[in-house]
Chain A
Amino acid sequence: MESIKIMWLQAGGCTGCTISLLNSSSLKIKNLLLDEIVPGKIISLIFQPTIMAGSGEKVIEVIKEESLKGDFTLVVEGGISTKDNGIYGKIGEKTFLEILIELGEKASGIICIGTCSSFGGIPKGGPNPTGIKPVKEILKEKNIKKEVINIPGCPPHPDWFVGTVAKIIAGIPLGLDELNRPTDFFGKLIHENCPRRPYFDKGKFAKDFSEEGCLYLLGCKGPFTYADCPIREWNGGINWCIKNNSPCFGCTEPEFIDENSPFFKRKEIEKIGELK
């Protein structure tokens, strides 16, 4: 049985990415934890602070041992603070920044889960009080040459993570866009697949939430946002933002949050994303 070992660093985030992964339904979370993810291959969550049993020295020993072997994938959730040497977030007297560098150097690959680690996200919002930087940028500055896969979203859809990992394990080449996002999930604009597109094309726009129509004037960032939410839908196909009559906030983009806010005001259409 071949296993992919995962060490999951939670940095300056909200745990929403972890909780979203627990919502996995295409492949249920019990199967993700206990079963083969693709035939003959399993995920081994060596370190995942929200769900793991142990605490204490025992855990440290395992991490120490496993990180030396180097045969693990580092998953980073949350923003990495760099201001004042990153004192704004610590685990075991070490800053997230130090931990990222230490584990990043040893990891065989790095997956950023969520917009905070991928691009900075919410905590990077102006005035960026703690000096959050994307993981990719930090590694570049420290001259750590490791491939980074970004799976943004606030939070990301569980399928985006599970699908990406499954593809890696199965040895199928992963297409990435210029922002290191898997093109399988981030290849098309929300706008391209939006069920309200006919309203946009006809010029029927809702001006408040009691009206029917395209949500562009209510601030929808669908024309600027790459993600497959309209096809995939959320929480096991129950609903998603636009279906819930709420504008897309563009949470999978580096522009989230500063350039994508005010969330409920229109963004100039000249900046519309390009079809890929």
Chain B
Amino acid sequence: MREKIIIDPITRIEGHLKVEVEIENKEVVDAKCSGMLYRGIEKILIGRDPIDACQITQRICGVCPVAHASASSIALDNAFGIKEKIPENAFLVRNLIHASNHIHNSILHFYHLSILDFIDVSRVKKGISSEIDLLCKFLERDNYSPFVPRDNDFRLSQEANLRVVQNYIKGLEIRRYAHQLLSIFGGKMPHQCGIVPGGVTQKVDIGKIENAIGKLKDIKEFVEFYYFSDLKDIGEKYPEYFKIGSSYGNYLTYGVFPIRNNGSIEKFQPGGVVFEIEKLEEIDEKEIREDIVNSWYEGEIENPEKDSPDINIKKNGYSWIKSPRYKGKVVEVGPGARLVIAYKKNVQPWKKEIDKVLNEFKIDISKLNSVMGRHIARFIEAKVLINECLNWILKIKPDQDFYLKYEIPEEGQGIGLSEGARGAVGHWISIKNKKISHYQVISPTTWNGSPKDSNGNYGPIEKALIGTKINDEKNPVEILRIVRSFDPCLACAVQVIDSKKFNKSNFFLWV
């Protein structure tokens, strides 16, 4: 007998996501992933001053605004024809701003969006640490919100649970340090104001450098010791999550963190495409098309360079998300994609660090294509980026330029390809009469959370859900853990609904 579970939306993600799965003999046989929010930011950009795009597109996402500032500034640098002349200091400072956002995201995602699926905050005892004592006092209340209601399947030992709960609370502080680190260079966070076309607004002096190194050391200590040990504890008790939640094994990354090396620009994390974990290719952005056959837009296929489809709430459509495809293939984006491609390309220090961690977990690179694999990938990224930030900081030359003057051309076109913590971000801009005439954004969750395309291929999250065994249909933690492992970025969330009870009375509150 087929049974339908609708999850609309899911908590502890960013944005409005609805997931609908069909279950037969305790196994997911069909899945639909729907984005439930449309704001039309691309339409709002038309006719505006091009340099405003850098600020406005950041507001697409308050968790990963820097990815959009980065893609937008690169698109504008390209459109203005100044990309090659951007001062080296600007590359370094932009990278520091951007990397701090990724570091923040790894901690946020693991400790605050995911870990409550694995730890029991009520199983603690006094006298371990000030954090736990604070929690014990909280547990004397008659209301445990926001830690109730909750799902179950908590497997950690008493000691491990205590350690990880303690780090959940500690992590709240450490994540904040990553935003402070960013703010040293970017002014404020969320929605930094440091990155502009031509470079960055603020010169970096020795005081800022010192301050940033201090913050990095605090974060490094937490990440290298606690984050890693918590990941190990959870990995040990949830071994099947190295196997479940796999998508196609096709990966795409544009590459990120450009640095100037003897005149040419290289990326610290390289771009590329991998099919079925094996076949590596260089990326050609001209091969990207957006399939919109199941999305609420007019038409079937869109070229981000020139098309900007209007809304059409089609009957067969089920999402505001479009379905970007590369050479017609479904690809997963995100930390897993970035690591697999750096690994296949033998790029250091990535290869060395990935090998080390894979060895600790006794898994091979193909296992990054799983729930635990994605969590491990985020940890590796945070660790490597913290160390690279320390290198970048020391390369800054405070007495040299951080910004390049330019003129906005009458006409121009630019592509900005970058990465958010959650994966590939692309911005396509056209300028006419010094104003924006076209703007398209393809963000990470557009790739990962995409609906079925015209060939009937499921999007990556949908694919990862299909085939999953559900232990308890009333408490489908497997689905939540899989969806959350992608760190979907749409923006908010609530309820899992059993289809049999899917009627108006359930929505009493909203009716």
Q: Which residues of A contact B (CB under 8 A)?
A: 1, 3, 5, 10, 12-20, 22-23, 25, 28-31, 33-35, 42, 44-64, 67, 78-79, 87-94, 98-99, 102-103, 121-123, 125-130, 154-155, 208-210, 234-236, 238-241, 243-246, 249, 251, 257, 261-265
Given contacts A50-B14, A209-B200, 14 further A-B contacts (CB under 8 A): A22-B176, A46-B146, A49-B9, A53-B11, A55-B493, A59-B494, A62-B149, A79-B39, A94-B510, A208-B405, A209-B198, A235-B179, A235-B189, A244-B193
- B380 part of interface (Cβ distance < 8 Å): no
A19 to B189, CA, bound (A): 9
Minimum Cβ distance to chain B for residue A252 (Å): 13
What chain A residues lie within 8 Å of B134 (beta carbons)? 30-31, 34-35
> CB within 8 Å of A: which of B24-56?
36-41, 43-44, 47-49, 51-52, 55-56
Contact A92 B511 (CB under 8 A): no
Given contacts A14-B491, A45-B146, contact A127 B43 (CB under 8 A): yes
Contact A91 B506 (CB under 8 A): no
Q: Determine which of A34, A88, A93, A98 lies in contact with B8 in the assembled complex, contact meaning CB atoms within 8 Å.
A: A93
Closest to B200 in A: A209
What chain A residues lie within 8 Å of B175 (beta carbons)? 22
What chain B residues lie within 8 Å of A14 (beta carbons)? 59-63, 65, 190, 491
Minimum Cβ distance to chain A for residue B419 (Å): 18
Minimum Cβ distance to chain A for residue B122 (Å): 10
Contact A53 B507 (CB under 8 A): no
What chain B residues lie within 8 Å of A51 (beta carbons)? 12, 112, 146
A23 to B36, CA, bound (A): 27
- B7 part of interface (Cβ distance < 8 Å): yes
Contact A129 B183 (CB under 8 A): no
Closest to B477 in A: A55
Contact B509 A123 (CB under 8 A): no
Contact B492 A244 (CB under 8 A): no
Minimum Cβ distance to chain B for residue A27 (Å): 12
A-B contact pairs, 14 of them (CB 8 A): A19-B63, A28-B172, A34-B169, A58-B150, A91-B492, A122-B56, A122-B59, A127-B43, A129-B40, A130-B40, A155-B190, A209-B402, A210-B402, A241-B193
A80 to B201, CA, bound (A): 33
Contact A60 B509 (CB under 8 A): yes
A29, A49, A79, most chain B CB atoms within 10 A: A49
Q: Which of B272-280, B424-432, B496-504 contacts A (4 or more CB under 8 A)?
A: B496-504
Minimum Cβ distance to chain B for residue A146 (Å): 17
Contact B61 A98 (CB under 8 A): no
What chain A residues lie within 8 Å of B116 (beta carbons)? 53
Minimum Cβ distance to chain B for residue A22 (Å): 7
What chain B residues lie within 8 Å of A18 (beta carbons)? 62
Given contacts A92-B9, A238-B183, A243-B187, contact A129 B43 (CB under 8 A): yes
What chain B residues lie within 8 Å of A123 (beta carbons)? 39-41, 44
What chain B residues lie within 8 Å of A78 (beta carbons)? 491-492
Contact B184 A210 (CB under 8 A): no
Given contacts A122-B44, A244-B188, contact A49 B39 (CB under 8 A): no
A111 to B120, CA, bound (A): 32
Q: Which of B137-145, B235-243, B351-359 contacts A (4 or more CB under 8 A)?
A: B137-145
- B401 part of interface (Cβ distance < 8 Å): yes
Contact A59 B190 (CB under 8 A): no
Contact B494 A92 (CB under 8 A): yes
Please encode chain B, from 14 to 28, with 1 for each CB lying within 8 Å of some chain A CB and 0 for all others: 111010000000000
Q: Determine which of B44, B193, B401, B506 lies in contact with A126 in the assembled complex, contact meaning CB atoms within 8 Å.
A: B44
Q: Determine which of B145, B201, B401, B492 lies in contact with A245 in the assembled complex, contact meaning CB atoms within 8 Å.
A: B201
A126 to B40, CA, bound (A): 10
Q: Determine which of A52, A53, A79, A90 lies in contact with B16 in the assembled complex, contact meaning CB atoms within 8 Å.
A: A90
Contact B495 A244 (CB under 8 A): no
What chain A residues lie within 8 Å of B146 (beta carbons)? 33, 45-48, 51-53
- B412 part of interface (Cβ distance < 8 Å): no
Contact A209 B59 (CB under 8 A): no
Contact B201 A91 (CB under 8 A): no
Contact A235 B52 (CB under 8 A): no
Closest to A121 in B: B59
Closest to A3 in B: B143
Given contacts A15-B15, A16-B62, A264-B49, contact A54 B150 (CB under 8 A): yes
- B508 part of interface (Cβ distance < 8 Å): yes
Listed from nearest, the 6 A-B pairs whose CB atoms lie closest are: A16-B62, A56-B496, A244-B187, A129-B40, A10-B492, A58-B149
Contact A20 B190 (CB under 8 A): yes
Minimum Cβ distance to chain B for residue A43 (Å): 9
Contact B49 A16 (CB under 8 A): no
Contact B173 A28 (CB under 8 A): yes
What chain A residues lie within 8 Å of B121 (beta carbons)? 53
Contact B138 A35 (CB under 8 A): yes
Minimum Cβ distance to chain A for residue B120 (Å): 10
Q: Determine which of B9, B52, B149 lies in contact with A61 in the assembled complex, contact meaning CB atoms within 8 Å.
A: B149
A272 to B51, CA, bound (A): 24
Contact A91 B510 (CB under 8 A): yes
Minimum Cβ distance to chain A for residue B383 (Å): 22
Contact A19 B62 (CB under 8 A): yes
Given contacts A19-B62, A263-B55, contact A234 B187 (CB under 8 A): yes
Contact A60 B59 (CB under 8 A): no
Minimum Cβ distance to chain A for residue B32 (Å): 14
What chain B residues lie within 8 Å of A34 (beta carbons)? 134-135, 137-138, 169
- B363 part of interface (Cβ distance < 8 Å): no
What chain A residues lie within 8 Å of B200 (beta carbons)? 209
Contact B11 A54 (CB under 8 A): yes
- B234 part of interface (Cβ distance < 8 Å): no
Contact B40 A44 (CB under 8 A): no
What chain A residues lie within 8 Å of B402 (beta carbons)? 209-210
Contact A29 B49 (CB under 8 A): no
Contact B511 A102 (CB under 8 A): yes
What chain B residues lie within 8 Å of A122 (beta carbons)? 39, 41, 44, 56, 59
What chain A residues lie within 8 Å of B179 (beta carbons)? 23, 235
Minimum Cβ distance to chain B for residue A141 (Å): 19
Minimum Cβ distance to chain A for residue B63 (Å): 6
Minimum Cβ distance to chain A for residue B125 (Å): 16
Contact A235 B138 (CB under 8 A): no
Minimum Cβ distance to chain A for residue B54 (Å): 9
Contact A155 B191 (CB under 8 A): yes
Minimum Cβ distance to chain B for residue A104 (Å): 12
Contact A130 B509 (CB under 8 A): no
Contact A261 B44 (CB under 8 A): no
- B75 part of interface (Cβ distance < 8 Å): no
- B304 part of interface (Cβ distance < 8 Å): no
Given contacts A13-B62, A60-B506, A92-B497, contact A55 B187 (CB under 8 A): no
A121 to B137, CA, bound (A): 40
A34 to B201, CA, bound (A): 39
What chain B residues lie within 8 Å of A13 (beta carbons)? 62, 491
